[in-house]
Structure 1
Amino acid sequence: MDKRQLLMSELMDLCNEIIWLNKPELEAALKGVTLSEIELIEHIAMIPNANVTKLAAASYMTRGAISKLTKKLVAKDMIESYQSEHNKKEIYFRLTENGQEINTIHQDLHRSFLKRDQEVFQQMTDEEFDTIFRFIGRYRQHLKNR
């Protein structure tokens, strides 16, 4: 296996290990909410005037999938739709109180995962962080250009 294959394999294994380790805690804290719903709630919290197009791009999902997911979240009273006074054609989404609560729990879990893993990050130099960020940035740009 050459270095490229080994690097990609190690990255995939790392991501899978993190997901495997975090998933039970996420599921226990956020019962009844799927990982896709949690991700969409997080995007709606972060993206100003979140609409189907913006959410699809941020989630790497189709607009149809986002439409289905937003309907589920509206039915669960986690998000609500609204229209801008300046653009009555476009439909936007924002979190309800329930959605904000889910997002807060999710963000708290992220902080606890970072705290759990802080010993790894404390050992890293700024140069190591910069190298990793440069690699990820170049790779993501390469994929976007495809």
Structure 2
Amino acid sequence: MNKEEQVRVGFRDLFNKMVWLNKFKMEDSLKGHKSSEVHCIECIERNVDSNVTKLAESLYMTSGAISKITKKLVKKGLIESYQKPENKKEIYFRLTEQGKVIYNIHEELHQEFQERDKAVFEQVTEEQFDSMLRFMDKYSRHLDAEIMKQGIDMKSE
């Protein structure tokens, strides 16, 4: 396996291990809420005036999928929709008090996981961080260009 393959496989393995390791605690603490719902809640809280289009782009999901998730979240009382007086056409979302509870639990879990992994990150130098960040940015821009080249419209898929 060459170094390029090692990097790809390494990224995938790291991601899968993190998901697997965090999964049980997340599911236990956030019973009754799917991962996609929790990430939608997170996205709504972190972005002002979240609408279906913004959420679809941020979460790399289709508008149809986001519409289904937001309907479920409204029904569960975790988010509410609103409109701006100057734009009655567009519908935006914000968290309810119940939604903020879920968001805070999720954030606390992320803090716990960061604390667990802190020992590794403390050993990484600034130069190593900078190098990794440059690589991830370059790779991400390449993938964005490929998405554009293939004409993939994230909103309608």
> TM-score surpassing 0.5?
yes
Following superposition, the deviation at residue 41 of structure 1 comes to 0.3
Note if 1:81 corresponds to 2:81. yes
Unaligned runs of at least 5 residues, structure 1: none
Following superposition, the deviation at residue 124 of structure 1 comes to 0.7
Aligned counterparts, 1:107-126, within 5 A: 107-126=107-126
Aligned counterparts of 2:97 and 2:78: Cα–Cα separation in 1 = 7
Following superposition, the deviation at residue 77 of structure 1 comes to 0.4
Aligned twin of 1:21: 21
Tell me which of the two structures has the higher relative contact order, counting C-alpha pairs closer than 8 angstroms and 6 or more residues apart.
2
Aligned counterparts of 1:41 and 1:8: Cα–Cα separation in 2 = 30
Secondary structure, in 3 states, of the residue corresponding to 2:88?
coil
Identity of aligned residues (%): 51
Deviation beyond 4 Å, 4+ runs, structure 1: none
Aligned counterparts of 1:21 and 1:48: Cα–Cα separation in 2 = 31
TM-score with structure 1 setting the length: 0.99
Aligned counterparts, 1:1-146, within 5 A: 1-146=1-146
Unaligned runs of at least 5 residues, structure 2: 147-157
Q: How many residues align?
A: 146
- CA-to-aligned-CA distance 1:12-47 (integer Å, 9 cap, x gap): 000000000000000011000000001000000011
Following superposition, the deviation at residue 50 of structure 1 comes to 0.1
Letter in 2 for 1:60: Y
Letter in 2 for 1:13: D
CA RMSD of superposed structures (Å): 0.5
Secondary structure, in 3 states, of the residue corresponding to 2:11?
helix
